[in-house]
Structure 1
């Protein structure tokens, strides 16, 4: 399953050189993960309220290949690389016209209400298979 989210680069996303500021790629991929989970039918607000479970990023391994610029139309592509009972690793690529500009491997875990690691919610695991 691959999820795709279109994103346009706004002026506020760029630095003095007119290219996307490096930290904003992390915002782009965060938005894409949020929409990916939403489209799977997982309501994160309800998950937190009813089960006390939230998702957290444990690790990000990122590569910056080419710059994106103001007004570029980008696609953030999210795919599952690996999943266990307690974590999921997703690959996220930010592309322009099919060319990968930024790529990240992101490890996600679920945390309980006290901040302790817990098993990934069943609704989440079910929707990934």
Structure 2
């Protein structure tokens, strides 16, 4: 993804001014929502290293595998706390995606889906981390 492309997180900013510097390690997320948006962008560009290193050490998996989904849009539904200076925050979102799957006859079919999650974030060593999330629907 080019720094002059629109950021996948839907902020309306260019990738190079929004989530790009976070994924590149040039700066840290200042809020839980900013971390949520940057993690969405990391999934969209298959940067699983960023997803892994922003996952809280006590809850992250040993390894991550990129999904075959194409992430097509992010809606932030609710933000509770998670501002600079807070220790915890919650971000509820819907992440839209599409991909292919095999039908009962073996034919490939395109499908669309939505991941609706209420994510929990916490500050550790001065940095925001994703802790876990509750999935809906």
Q: Same fold (TM over 0.5)?
A: no
Task: Using structure 2 for the length normalisation, give the TM-score.
Answer: 0.32
Higher helix share: 1
Higher relative contact order (CA 8 A, sep 6+): 1
Normalized against structure 1, the TM-score is what? 0.33
